[in-house]
């Protein structure tokens, strides 16, 4: 079974704090993704990575950065958290470059006060 884990299920942070969300997958997948999910808006892609040290912007990268130093680990960084970044953050991984299935982690619910 594919296993994608995220470092925290719930986080509460203050405006202006630097926030790190970590994701680890154990299936040697080349591709990893960060999404945020908001009611009525569905899943929106923030960043993805197709290889170690490689990254591509998704649809809503503003206010976020990412790091992929090892194949199994993909980190999302909120440089200076703002209240509009309160959301559910989902990490996913996928093998290959075609229409293969994405597998999701359990999610991190972030509240920025």
Token reading at 81:
């958290």
* Residue closer to other proteins (CB basis): 8 or 18: 8
When asked if residue 105 is in the footprint of other proteins (CB under 8 A), the reply is: yes
The residue from 22, 30, 45, 71 that contacts other proteins (CB under 8 A) is 45
Selected range binding other proteins among 13-21, 64-72, 75-83, 101-109, rule: CB under 8 A: 101-109
| CA separation for the pair 8, 13 (Å, rounded) | 13
Specify the residue for token string 């991190």. Answer: 108
Q: Which letter does DSSP use for residue 98 in this model?
A: S
Stretch in the footprint of other proteins (CB under 8 A) among 14-22, 37-45, 60-68, 70-78: 37-45
Which residues 6+ apart lie within 8 Å of 62 measured at CB? none
User: What are the backbone angles phi and psi of residue 2, rounded to the nearest 5°?
Assistant: -70, 135
Binding site for other proteins (CB under 8 A): 4, 6, 33, 40-43, 45, 58, 88, 90, 97-107, 109
């Amino acid at each position: 079974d594919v296993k994608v884990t995220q470092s925290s299920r719930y986080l509460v942070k203050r405006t202006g704090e630097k926030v790190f969300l970590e994701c680890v997958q154990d299936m040697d997948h080349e591709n990893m993704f960060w999404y945020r999910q908001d009611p009525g808006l569905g899943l929106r892609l923030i960043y993805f990575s197709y290889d170690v040290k490689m990254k591509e912007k998704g649809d809503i990268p503003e206010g976020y950065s990412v790091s992929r130093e090892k194949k199994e680990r993909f980190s999302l960084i909120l440089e200076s958290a703002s209240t509009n970044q309160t959301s559910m953050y989902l990490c996913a991984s996928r093998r290959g470059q075609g229409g293969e299935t994405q597998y999701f982690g359990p999610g991190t619910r972030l509240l920025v006060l």
